[in-house]
Chains A and B, each alone.
Chain A
Amino acid sequence: MIWRALLARLGISLVTLWVVSVLIFIGTNLLPGDVAQIILGQMATPENTAVLREKLGLDKHPVEQYLVWLSNVMMGDLGISKAGLGAGLGTPIVEMLGPRIDNTAMLTVLVGAIAIPISVALGLLAAMHPGTRLDRTITFSTLNIISIPDFLIATILVLVFAVSLGWLPSIVYLRGDESGWVLMKTIAMPLMTLVILSSSQIIRMTRATVLNVMSSPYVEMAILKGVPRRRIILRHALFNAIGPIVNVIALNLAWLVGGVVVVEQIFSYPGLAKLMIEAVQMRDMPLVQACAMIFCAVYVVLIFIADMATILSNPRLRHPK
């Protein structure tokens, strides 16, 4: 039963990915402007354009184009970036993506490693003492942070730490060989911004779910059995709150990979989201498609993991009658 549930999830994930690939392909093809014309710019005579179109396979039927693209993607060939194609050689997208993926992954892992334990702990703390000053402070500040747009938080942090105090650089300049303290200092600003932003949601979700479980009859029963408060929260309540918490964490991690466009732009952080912006500006369709596929794949994988955690934490599914 549980294997069937997991297999079904896996199937749904694959179907989602496929549907998204179709949508991305249609979407990028619907964008105005002919890629060949854009690349050629002023040299776009009808003859030149026709030659380049044939070279890029743009003269083929869209369905055929899609199938060629899809089979290449499956084999790990994301295509050739059209930036610079006019000059002769294009850059393989895989090579362009490599360092950007590393940067984004580093930032995501660091933010996750800092934000998840802190926010689950703060959420639990607030839920353990509902209505107290501590709880109200946590609830109030997280609500404020959620309501403020991300660029404003980034700007405020820049004003404080870079402009007034002069402790941290306001722009990230990664050479690629930094390590340890230097690295931390270089990426401190985007790191802080993202930790603050993603923590707020996790804290609020943890608090709300745990509080909800805390008002259930089985928690009252645990109180009446003389179970200490700490054990009630950690053993009785948290176990039943895992599903929603894991889901909000997964959504936040996925957002860190693809959704932090504004924050990456403000700090000039050379991550994936910024690459996608650049690709859109240059009408570099293969690159846009590749980035969009990666973002979507990350979402699908993380949500799949969260679903599995929810299913596995449910004894009804783990131990059918």
Chain B
Amino acid sequence: MSALLEVDNLQISARNDDDELTPIVKGVSFNVQPGEVVALIGESGSGKTTIALSSLGYTKPGLEFVGGEVRLHGEDVISMQNDRLRGLRGQRVAYLAQSAAATFNPALTIGEQVTESTVLHGLMSQEEANRRAEDLYRALELPDPDRLGKRYPHQVSGGQLQRLMAATALCGKPDLLVLDEPTTALDVTTQIEVLKSFKSVITQEGASAIYVTHDLSVVAQIADHIVVLYAGEIQEYGTADQVVTQPSHEYTRRLMYAVRPPPAAGQGEETSDEHQRKAPALEVKNLLAGYGRTQNGAPEITVLRDVNVAIERGHSVGVIGESGCGKSTLARVMAGLLPAAQGEVLLDGAALQPALQQRSRNELQKIQFVFQMADTALNPRQRIDKILGRPVEFYHGLKGEEKRRRVGELLQMVELPQEFAGRYPEELSGGQKQRINLARALAASPEVLLCDEVISALDSIVGANVIELLKRLRKQTGVSFVFISHDLSTVASFADQIVVLYAGRVVEQGPTNAVLSPPYHPYTRLLISSVPELRVGWLEETMETQEAQAGIDRVVTLTDKGCPFFDRCPRAVKGTCDEETPPVRKVTGSHSIECHLSEAEFAQ
């Protein structure tokens, strides 16, 4: 059997402003057989997307092909003329991008975009293409397939858009699909649904695929062969089973190590109480907060309700939940960026003003915020010494030599060399920028650090290093952390307390070990079971469970009464769960679950 796609000694370079070439892909070769899924795995900068795009004869602006061939059915696509390339793209090779939200044109209907390529290439008439699209919507289990085509991208959810992207790619029945991190931007519960539909559709259509990702656990579910890449070179190339179970290369083992184990009891950090004092470092009581104009103590859209969380000194509280559950809102209320409508925020046992503007400089100094995107949080026109020097001067009044020394200490704290003081943010890598972002918050010598998804945008190895750094800082300085993430494994590996938020309510909270072992709140169980495991066949098993069938890929809806998880819960009791606010059940010590089910029922 001859290969569908042969990548043969492919070399791609970047041309800079001085017309110099820097190699990005350094002689990569692999094959894709008909009906096979080949995964390209590596960190950012490994060249995986660049290689994948070459199968469409395309390079990102600034890159160019330097050598080698990419043959589809034996014919080189790199040397193809523009007209022929257009015929190839979308028809024989189709591309699925990472962020469907950005790759769908907001001004055109979904139907037009799904069928566009097929109709333009003359493969089908518009009517035939529309019918084909509807069939695909059904196969991908999208809601309301008859009318979906007439809707606009902003009218459907992120997970649905990602599947619509698959429909776009599959519409013209291509020979090869190129999937570029198609599930990375999704919540775990959405991810497994999307993975499942991708997998079944690929099997049904008999298509081959190149699957680009940095996530080894996802790859294990879907790939036949795995190509491990580092800095534009192949490190390891073998069957999925072999690479996952017996990695032969050192780099693959490092990748495996960085895959955080699925959350389970026993991983939670036990932190010492040496820094502890009488009152918690930060506490919120009976919080009610939301957006829009506040009238009679209630905002137009209420996000957080009845939230009670205490952060002890030197401890880390992980806040977990899907997007739309109010995690960032909680951090913004704590920081004073969003004043709460009702309830209190207490620092060291003393009530804080709800709004940032009314808090004293001393109070501001004690609570610092680390934003998700270091790229946008750091001013690109300021050098690192200025970025770090500003809070040092503002909060501690240090100037001149003293300030310079303190900036040096901060760089040392986040394990960056002193020379970085004179650099601009754009000269740093993603992980280094995130360290500067962290150092900027530490410059105030805070007592509580609010970390909002600080490692979500980082590669697994870089992210793991940042977590190690956070652990060391916690030990050294006794600073407390509020650690927000949608990734349960990350939270489990760092936090000693976990707060599970769903639709603005705390559904479960307690020590990490207690939250990650039964009894679970049904939502916690769903989250835990949705985290992909690094073994082949996990996906199929999981989709069979009761939780998955009731709860995956649904939108989070805020409710005024009853339990917000009602519509996704496999054990919901009609008349009770949707009507009455669930009671807070103390399980053991500080572990509590907010659910109508009794402890005996949990045990079942």
Contact = CB atoms under 8 A, between A and B. Distances in A.
Interface of A: 216-218, 220-228, 231, 235-236, 239-240, 313-316, 319, 321
A235 B117 CA distance: 13
B72 interface: no
8 contacts: A222-B105, A222-B116, A225-B94, A225-B116, A227-B86, A236-B105, A315-B154, A319-B151
A226 B108 contact: no
Interface in B291-341: none
A321 B106 contact: no
A223 B59 CA distance: 11
Nearest to B83: A228
B56 A224 contact: yes
Contact of A226 (B91, B104, B107, B155): B91
Interface in B130-159: 151-152, 154-155
Interface stretch (B95-103, B250-258, B405-413, B486-494): B95-103
Instruction: Give 8 nearest A-B pairs by CB, closest first.
Output: A226-B89, A225-B90, A226-B90, A225-B117, A217-B102, A239-B107, A221-B103, A226-B86
Contacts of A220: 97, 103
B168 interface: yes
**Most B C-beta atoms less than 10 A away, residue of A222, A236, A240, A314:** A222
Nearest to B118: A225
A240 B91 CA distance: 26
Contact of B87 (A224, A226, A239, A314): A226
Given A221-B103, A240-B105, A240-B107, A227 B116 contact: yes
Given A226-B121, A228-B120, A315-B107, A216 B90 contact: no
Interface of B: 53, 56, 58, 85-91, 94-95, 97, 99, 102-108, 116-117, 120-121, 151-152, 154-155, 168
For B88, B104, B108, B121, which residue has the most chain A Cβ atoms within 10 angstroms?
A: B108
Contacts of A240: 105-107
A224 B155 contact: no
Contacts of B117: 225-227
Contacts of B99: 217
A157 to B, nearest CB: 40
A231 B120 contact: yes
A307 to B, nearest CB: 17
Contact of A313 (B107, B151, B155): B107
Contacts of A313: 107
A315 to B, nearest CB: 4
B106 A316 contact: yes
Given A221-B97, A226-B87, A315 B103 contact: no
Given A235-B108, A315-B107, A321-B155, A225 B102 contact: no
A313 B99 CA distance: 23
Given A224-B95, A321-B155, A218 B105 contact: yes
B97 to A, nearest CB: 6
A231 B112 CA distance: 13
A223 B93 CA distance: 12
B107 A217 contact: no
Contacts of A239: 105, 107-108
Given A216-B102, A228-B86, A314-B107, 15 more contacts: A220-B103, A221-B97, A223-B89, A224-B53, A224-B56, A224-B89, A226-B85, A226-B91, A236-B105, A240-B107, A313-B107, A315-B106, A315-B152, A321-B154, A321-B155
